[in-house]
Amino acid sequence: MYYIGVDLGTSAVKLLLMDSKGKIEKIVSKEYPLNFPHPGWSEQNPLDWYEKSMEGLKELTEGIDKSQIGGISFGGQMHGLVILDEKDEVIRPAILWNDGRTGKETDYLNTVVGKEKLSEYTANIAFAGFTAPKILWVKENEPENFARIKKIMLPKDYLAYRLSGTFCSDYSDASGMLLMDVKNKCWSEEMISICGITKEQLPTLFESYDVVGTLKPEVAEELGMTEAVKIIAGAGDNAASAVGTGTVGNNMCNLSLGTSGTIFITSDEFRVDEHNALHSFAHADGKYHLMGCMLSAASCNKWWMEEILQSKDFKGEQEKIENLGENSVFFLPYLMGERSPHNNPKARGTFTGMTMDTKREDMYQAVLEGVAFGLRDSFEVAKKLGIKIERSKITGGGAKSPLWKKIIANVLNVKIDLLESEEGPALGGAILAAVGCGEYKNVEEAAEKMIKVVDTIEPDEELSKKYDERYEKFKTIYPGMIEIFNQIV
């Protein structure tokens, strides 16, 4: 049998065809536009997602026996607000995860409702990118649209709805809406009331590997597939990516160096830190996870190279960096504000410690180290919960850099495992589809049989000690900058 994983990203949809043993047969990607109607706003048309996904599904399955396709599942960009009217038509463009318009609503939730209450209701506090503040924004600024809302859903769930007709979401993705009681895996009645919506406007919740339906007859006909193809709920992109890296079970870790950077720690038990510095979400394996998300990771690298140095010779520039652990320059990687652990949209990137001796490679090294230190900020929160992490997988575009991986291994003082295949949420979606169709008894068994570690980067004791000293200095810089950020932003 074949299984399809659909990774609904911010710039493109990536579709992956996998056989029952985990062999990747084909990958197709289709881009769509990202719109910025006002400074700080970020929107997309859900119709583009569906159109490009259908194009991709046709191309992906061209030339294969389509009767052998067992199921389709998803990994999707989280937190986006998709709203439909009573005719199932999209009311307005989707407001995305990286949209920053909800500062007022986020402040209201965190200060008037209160962080303590939010944590009690949802295990999390409000962040500008979450879905609930977006709902409040529409209610306040577009009351005519708010009044038309019949269905509220997340981006990947729009695809599931169009393919199967089932109004659904999964626990991992819904965890990031600030509408779900994560501990008890149900919608929060209190948050529903605060947002002025009804339970009927929210989707039915499933585990990520649950079958939610089958292809609608007209969709199956258009794709040339059978109506028996199962649609499996899927997961938020980070949870799906974790499945695709085998980060399932208890106390496993995955680091993602994509546009944003995440540290993803699995847990059999529900956990939440006292300051809600980390997100406490449900995981796609049926358990839970903690996640720290920094808004700028590999994007810091891209910014420094392409915008500042006006170069694309990443390898050549990194080869000039030699004295790890001895750099006097520090970089705060907050080019788009910061989420974990500071939750400060006003934070900005800064360089500190330059002298007349500072060279361009020192600045570049500071950028790479700054992202690693930012990941460590979240790592330290997890350690305070008594979680002991000795090794981690690593994924994302930034993970292609041997130097950056070495820096991260030593900044965190953990072993970094490298994977045979790193296809992120698309592979995770395909694995969830295989589990949902009964190919494997659970997500852990599937990951164990499919995901292979091919190499490990070991931290160096002396270098890790040097980075411990530098991290102690790094973490003093942000507190001293808070008042300045408040004044200049």
Q: Residue 61 has what DSSP assignment?
A: T
Annotated binding residue 78: yes
Nearest to 48 by CA among 5, 13, 7: 13
Domain boundaries, the chain: 2-239, 246-421+459-489
Evaluate whether the domain defined by 246-421+459-489 bears CATH number 1.10.10.10. no
How far apart, in whole angstroms, are the C-alpha atoms of residue 109 and residue 291?
A: 21
| Catalytic annotation, pick one of 7, 173, 210, 237 | 237
Q: Are 269 and 261 in contact (CB under 8 A)?
A: no
Spell out the residues 6+ positions from residue 279 whose beta carbon is closer than 8 angstroms to its own. 124, 175, 176, 290, 291, 292, 293, 340
Q: Are 362 and 329 in contact (CB under 8 A)?
A: yes
How far apart, in whole angstroms, are the C-alpha atoms of residue 140 and residue 108?
A: 12
Q: Pseudo-torsion of CA 70, 76, 81, 87, nearest 10°?
A: -20
Nearest to 132 by CA among 179, 96, 190, 186: 179
How far apart, in whole angstroms, are the C-alpha atoms of residue 56 and residue 48?
A: 12
Q: Which pLDDT belongs to residue 277?
A: 87
Could you check whether 2-239 and 246-421+459-489 share the same CATH topology? yes
Burial of residue 90 (number of CB atoms within 10 Å: 0-12, 13-18, 19+):
middle
Q: Using alpha carbons, list the distances in angstroms from residue 368 to 251, 326, 413, 484.
A: 26, 13, 16, 24
Nearest to 296 by CA among 241, 220, 347, 355: 347
Q: Which pLDDT belongs to residue 98?
A: 85
Q: What is the full per-residue pLDDT of the chain (489 aa) written as tens digits?
A: 999 999 999 889 999 999 999 999 999 999 999 999 998 899 999 999 999 999 999 999 999 999 999 999 999 999 999 999 999 999 999 999 989 899 999 999 999 999 999 999 999 999 888 999 999 999 999 999 999 999 999 999 999 999 999 999 999 999 999 999 999 999 999 999 999 999 999 999 999 999 999 999 999 999 999 999 999 999 999 999 999 999 999 999 999 898 889 999 999 999 998 888 899 999 999 999 999 999 899 999 999 999 999 999 999 999 999 999 999 999 999 998 898 899 888 899 999 999 999 999 999 999 999 999 999 999 999 999 888 899 999 988 899 999 999 999 999 999 999 998 878 899 999 999 999 999 999 999 999 999 999 999 999 999 999 999 999 999 999 999 999 999 998
* Token pair 């997988």: residue: 393
Confirm whether 237 is a catalytic residue: yes
Q: Are 111 and 126 in contact (CB under 8 A)?
A: no
Q: Which pLDDT belongs to residue 48?
A: 98
Q: Which helix (H) or strand (E) holds 417?
A: strand 415-419
Q: Residue 338 has what DSSP assignment?
A: B
Spell out the residues 6+ positions from residue 374 whose beta carbon is closer than 8 angstroms to its own. 261, 294, 297, 333, 338
Q: Which pLDDT belongs to residue 300?
A: 96
Q: Which helix (H) or strand (E) holds 461?
A: helix 461-488
DSSP conformation letters of 103-143: HHHHHIIIIIIIHHHHHHHHSS---TTSHHHHHHHHHHH-H
Annotated binding residue 38: no
CA gyration radius, the chain: 22
pTM of the model: 0.91
Q: What six digits make up the tokens of 225?
A: 């597939």
How far apart, in whole angstroms, are the C-alpha atoms of residue 146 and residue 138?
A: 6
Spell out the residues 6+ positions from residue 277 whose beta carbon is closer than 8 angstroms to its own. 292, 340, 341, 343, 378, 381
How far apart, in whole angstroms, are the C-alpha atoms of residue 341 and residue 196?
A: 29
Q: Which pLDDT belongs to residue 219?
A: 98
H runs (alpha helix) in 349-436? 360-384, 402-412, 424-436
Q: For domain 2-239, give the CATH superfamily.
A: ATPase, nucleotide binding domain (3.30.420.40)
Nearest to 93 by CA among 51, 150, 147, 155: 155
Q: How far is CA 216 from the centre of its chain?
A: 29
